[in-house]
Amino acid sequence: MVPYLTTALTGPLLELEKRLLDAQPTIEHWFRQQWKEQSAPFYTSVDIRNAGFKLAPVDTNLFPGGFNNLNPSFMSLSIHAAMGAVEKICPDAQRLLLIPENHTRNTFYLQNVAVLAHILRQTGLIVRIGTLIPEITQPTTLELPAGGRLTLEPLVRKGDRVGLEGFDPCAVLLNNDLSAGVPDILKGIEQTIMPPLHAGWATRRKSSHFAAYQHVASEFSRLVGIDPWLIDPYFNHCGKIDFQARQGEECLAEKVGEMLDKIQLKYDEYRIDQPPFVIVKADAGTYGMGIMTVKSPDDVRELNRKQRNKMAVGKEGLAFSEVLIQEGVYTFESINGAVAEPVVYMLDHFVVGGFYRVHTGRGSDENLNSPGMHFVPLAFDDTCLTPDRSANPDAAPNRFYAYGVIARLAMLAASIELDEALNEAENTENAVAAA
């Protein structure tokens, strides 16, 4: 069942949606051409904000952890897409090792691992789950909140292969974003590893992703005849910042001020009567941590100690010194009076589902990925890819088609971003070897 969804929409987004609907044959042909040249990530999730006047991605995750939040009625979509992804990336695979995050206490995340393992097993793979948790030295079975069990086993390294005791996998699927760095046990293995190690937050940066997205959005906007700003949030980057020591604070405040001025010009152009805002967040993945909403440069200068401590540390207690300064995109969607934002899930280059992240305690200009959020699954199967061109642009199937387009643009950007990161790593390696 799709929940009743309310939106507070103004003209430009309806115009944008109409453009996307009218251009559907052109858009789908363009995507097909892009995927001839680019390999899609194994899986991707994209957080989207619908401001009424703007529809844009605000985060792209290459290690999605919410498969348990998808509508179970459409599991077949995920299974078929996973089959295609496996055949493309590792066609000879029979045995697959799934390595999740070290979240044994987060039972909702473990439910995600169970659903993901089920999807993969339905493709015909033998799937077992290995863990990087050093305290787990023997197979450990955990109870799941929705019923069922999940067995985690310690990883074993033999030469250039990683596996489990009595289990030598053909391929490795990471559901761990490597925020703490690439563990030695995974370095230099000969098996195919998906996503590649350089997709992890040990090396990946959000600013690199949004630079790639800017390129993709610009090309796409020319194709359909729209202002790129309608689908692309402005961003900037600030390195060498230490919130606790107040180092780099003025640089950040200045860039925030410049960004707010830049957004205000667009708001004036489109006659948007809302105050612009900026999101400051760690440039490496943070699991919803290290994020703040800023409406003035003084908001940066006047952080109290508690706020500084909160901004200084991300996932697994890791400090960060680089931040992304991103145009804030309002969300004017709500479910039962609570602020909501869509999250679209993809396997290979196919949209397989989505859900609404909902938070009763947050406003339309705040990060919703925080304690207190809950999820409402949506039946995206016949919506993200099959619009009803005879209906109004804001009819549910058409709204979700627009979401699917934006999500696929972000996934394409992630593919380009990963290729560029690999090329950069290889060039560095060659330069070191030559020296």
Q: Are residues 318 and 354 in the same domain?
A: no
Q: Is residue 353 within a helix (H) or strand (E), and if so which, with residue range?
A: strand 350-359
Residue 282: pLDDT over 80: yes
Considering the domain architecture, whether residues 193 and 228 belong to the same structural domain is answered as: no
Considering only residues 329 and 246, tell me which one the structure prediction assigns the higher pLDDT.
329
Kindly state the tokens that stand for 114. Answer: 């169970």
Please tell me whether residues 370 and 420 are part of one structural domain: yes
- Look at residue 22 and tell me if it is in a domain: yes
Q: Which residue has better confidence, 243 or 286?
A: 243
Domain boundary among 179, 202, 225: 202
Whether 128 and 258 share a structural domain: no
The CATH number for 179's domain is 3.40.50.11280
Q: Give the end of a domain, one of 153, 186, 202.
A: 202
Q: Is the pLDDT of residue 302 over 50?
A: yes
Confidence of residue 336 (pLDDT cuts 50, 70, 90): confident
Q: Does residue 81 belong to any structural domain of this protein?
A: no
Residues 96 and 239 grouped into a single domain: no
Whether 167 is covered by a domain: the verdict is yes
Give 389-406 as a DSSP string. TTS-TTSHHHHHHHHHHH
Question: Is there a single domain that holds both residue 335 and residue 229?
Answer: yes
Claim to verify: residue 112 and residue 191 sit in the same structural domain: yes
Ranked by mean pLDDT, which of 3-7, 221-225, 374-378 comes out on top? 221-225
> What is the share, in percent, of the chain residues with pLDDT greater than 90?
55
Tokens of 172: 């490795």
323 plus 254 within the same structural domain: yes
**What per-residue confidence (pLDDT) applies to 288?**
55
Q: Is 181 in the same domain as 224?
A: no
CATH number of the domain that residue 279 is part of: 3.30.1490
Of 155-169, 206-220, 354-368, which range is least confident? 354-368
Higher pLDDT, 114 or 4: 114
Region of 348 on the Ramachandran plot (φ > 0 left; ψ -120 to 50 alpha; else beta): left
Q: Is residue 213 part of a domain?
A: yes
Q: Is the pLDDT of residue 27 over 50?
A: yes
Note the pLDDT of residue 206.
Answer: 95
- Provide the pLDDT confidence category of residue 322 given band limits of 50, 70 and 90: confident
| Same domain for 243 and 193 | no
Residue 161 domain flag: yes
* Least confident segment among 334-338, 360-364, 408-412: 360-364
pLDDT at 16: 86
Per the structure, the count of domains in the chain is 3
Residue 65 lies in a domain: no
Say whether 249 sits in a helix, a strand or coil: helix
**More confident call, 392 vs 163:** 163
Residue 86 domain flag: no
Q: Indicate the pLDDT class of residue 7, thresholds 50, 70 and 90.
A: very low
* 322 and 244 in a common domain: yes
Instruction: For residues 18-38, give the mean pLDDT.
Output: 94
Per-residue pLDDT, 381: 42
Reply yes or no on whether the pLDDT at 219 is more than 90.
yes
Per-residue pLDDT, 400: 80
Indicate whether 12 pLDDT > 70: no
Which tens digit of pLDDT belongs to each residue from 59-94?
999 999 999 988 888 888 899 999 999 888 778 889
Residue 347 shares a structural domain with residue 318: no
First to last CA, the chain: 61
Q: Which structural domain range is residue 311 located in?
A: 235-328
Q: Which residue has the higher pLDDT, 382 or 122?
A: 122
Mean of the pLDDT values across residues 380-395?
56
- Answer for the pair 352, 81: CB distance below 8 angstroms, yes or no: yes
The chain-wide mean pLDDT, for the chain, equals 85
**Which has more pLDDT, 229 or 355?**
229
**105-138: burial string, b at 16+ Cβ within 10 Å, e else:** eeeebbbbbbbbbebbebbebebbbbbbbeebee
Other CB atoms within 10 A of residue 140 CB = 15
Of 278, 297, 328, the position where a domain reaches its end is 328
pLDDT interval class at 21 (50, 70, 90): confident
Average pLDDT in the 28-45 region? 96
Q: Name the band, by pLDDT with cuts 50, 70 and 90, for residue 382.
A: very low
Q: Is residue 38 part of a domain?
A: yes
